């Protein structure tokens, strides 16, 4: 019989290189971010519930031009009882969407906590449920990851 263990991912200082000055290009905003030596582009599309093909192609092209590991696209932002919920889409260098990214989620936590200070808590909505993002002090963020299946 195998046991399932939840994992708490904590890594120090997910850097937001463009913390206050968002890079603008072609009327689309994105941030450069790093967490535990993984590098990301973060796209804030929280007012949208889906992405068109043109945006996805542009995001992928921008990802390759910036030589980052993944593009993190935040969509479908909504408030509930003072908390904020969003979906994080992970676009890889191969142009395929991944299921999840732990270090990417912490980079998104750093972004959400710095940009949307009016909310109490932040959650990423995943296929396996809502995942609470936590801020412990400046530069330290965590997320409770889904349980690991042992084989």
pLDDT, tens digit (0-9, with 9 covering 90-100), for 34-43: 888 888 999 9
Measured between alpha carbons, how far is 36 from 14 in angstroms, rounded to an integer? 7
- Evaluate whether 89 touches 52 at the Cβ level (below 8 Å): no
- Domains of the chain, start order: 5-18+28-145 (3.10.310.10)
Measured between alpha carbons, how far is 25 from 131 in angstroms, rounded to an integer? 31
- Evaluate whether 135 touches 129 at the Cβ level (below 8 Å): no
The model's pLDDT over 5-21, given as tens digits with 9 standing for 90+, comes to: 444 454 444 443 333 33
Place of tokens 């290189």: 17
Q: Is the whole model's pTM more than 0.85, yes or no?
A: no
Find, among 102, 69, 76, 104, the residue nearest to 60 by Cα.
69
């Amino acid at each position: 019989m195998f046991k399932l263990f939840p994992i708490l991912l904590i890594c120090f200082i997910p850097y937001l290189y463009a913390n206050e000055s968002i890079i603008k290009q072609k009327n689309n905003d994105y941030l450069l971010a790093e967490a535990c030596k993984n590098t990301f582009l973060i796209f804030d599309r929280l007012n949208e519930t889906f992405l068109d093909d043109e945006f996805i192609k542009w995001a992928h092209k921008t990802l390759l031009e910036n030589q980052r590991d993944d593009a993190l696209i935040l969509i479908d932002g909504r408030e509930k009882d003072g908390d904020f919920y969003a979906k994080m889409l992970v676009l890889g260098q191969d142009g395929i969407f991944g299921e999840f990214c732990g270090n990417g989620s912490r980079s998104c936590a750093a972004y959400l906590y710095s940009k949307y200070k009016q909310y109490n808590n932040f959650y990423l909505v995943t296929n396996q449920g809502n995942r609470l993002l936590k801020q412990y002090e400046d530069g330290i963020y965590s997320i409770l990851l889904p349980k690991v299946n042992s084989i």
